[in-house]
Amino acid sequence: MKNTVIVFVILIIGTFMFQNTIVYMADNITDFENVALPPKKQKKRVTYNPVIKVDATSKETWTLLDFASGKTHTITDPDTEKEKLKNLKWDLGFQRTKIITNGGETNPSGQVGVINLGQVDFNTIMEAPETGYAQDKRKWGKMLNKGISDWYNYRTRTHNIESQKFVYAIRTSEGKYLKMKIINYYCQKAENECATSMCNRNEAACLTLEYVHQPSGDRFFPKYIKPIAKQETVTTQVQTP
């Protein structure tokens, strides 16, 4: 009988403590949400491939990028500016996290297509596939390209965007080929700086793209040779007109 009473008392105390803990957490949930996540170990990333940074910060306009020249154009609405899309030279269009391509339902006369090659070593991709390139299609009222629409993860803890680091093979508007990886979404901060804390939305949507373009028109990319001497990353800053 004595043991039963002791167990009963322990259960009552435990229940009381548990309820108090739940109430405390509920009353201070904001404080818990603001606690930074433990820092992740980040590998230092170095590339000797060309890099383009595209300003896609506007929610009212689209930035159209031509990889061959590095030039950009701006349009307001792809649905109402079909003639402009047809006449401009461009490959991919960017608006915040959204990406369209110069082909499919976005521009029926365009031939741009995308294949997701997965999370592979960028420099090991030596050949672009001959077929299988996805073009834009309208789904649920939005224009999507299944080859590249899932390029990012949305982190609910920090509300930030993180590239999945897929490598893409792209058939360009000229019928040539390139390989590309989206390596960062933030304008002035490295992606790892936004992994454990909320980066302001005003700092977002400057997509950094690593790429190799094959201007000859064949599907084979030049062999990657790591430089012996230390070099700086080749960067082209693309400004929206």
Residue 38 lies in a domain: no
pLDDT at position 234 is: 46
Residues 220/76, Cβ–Cβ less than 8 Å: no
DSSP state of 34: T
pTM: 0.75
| Alpha carbon distances (Å) from 234 to 4, 11, 28, 29, 46 | 75, 66, 47, 45, 11
Provide long-range contacts, Cβ within 8 A and 24+ apart, for 182-190. 182/151, 182/152, 182/207, 182/208, 182/209, 183/45, 183/47, 183/51, 183/208, 183/209, 183/210, 184/208, 185/97, 185/152, 185/161, 187/55, 187/57
Residue 34 lies in a domain: no
Residue 231 lies in a domain: yes
Phi-psi region of 141 (alpha: psi -120 to 50; beta: other; left: phi over 0): left
Q: Which residue has the tokens 């976005």?
A: 106
Residue 42 lies in a domain: no
pLDDT at position 156 is: 83
Number of domains in the chain: 2
Residue 127 lies in a domain: yes
pLDDT at position 5 is: 59
Q: Are residues 133 and 73 in the same domain?
A: yes
Q: Are residues 88 and 9 in the same domain?
A: no
- The domain in which residue 4 lies consists of 1-29
Q: For residue 90, which of 180, 172, 210 has the smallest C-alpha distance? A: 172
pLDDT at position 14 is: 62
Q: Are residues 102 and 149 in the same domain?
A: yes
Q: For residue 50, which of 241, 240, 237, 239 has the smallest C-alpha distance? A: 237
Residues 142/152, Cβ–Cβ less than 8 Å: no
Give me 31's structure tokens: 């404080």
pLDDT at position 238 is: 52
Q: Are residues 96 and 192 in the same domain?
A: yes
Q: Are residues 167 and 203 in the same domain?
A: yes
Q: Are residues 173 and 66 in the same domain?
A: yes
* Count of alpha carbons within 13 angstroms of residue 31, beta-carbon side: 5
| Alpha carbon distances (Å) from 194 to 44, 104, 157, 234 | 15, 34, 11, 23
Residue 63 lies in a domain: yes
* Count of alpha carbons within 13 angstroms of residue 121, beta-carbon side: 4
Render each residue's pLDDT in the chain as its tens digit; 241 residues: 556 656 565 666 666 565 555 444 444 433 333 344 444 444 555 678 999 999 999 999 999 999 999 999 999 999 999 999 999 999 999 999 999 999 999 999 999 999 999 999 999 999 999 999 999 999 888 899 999 999 999 988 878 999 999 999 999 999 999 999 999 999 988 888 887 777 888 889 999 999 999 989 899 998 877 766 554 444 445 544 4
SS3 for 82?
helix
Q: How far apart are CA 48 and CA 226, in angstroms?
A: 7
* AA letter at 144: L
pLDDT at position 240 is: 47
Q: Are residues 127 and 8 in the same domain?
A: no
| Alpha carbon distances (Å) from 69 to 89, 107, 166, 181, 226 | 9, 20, 23, 18, 25
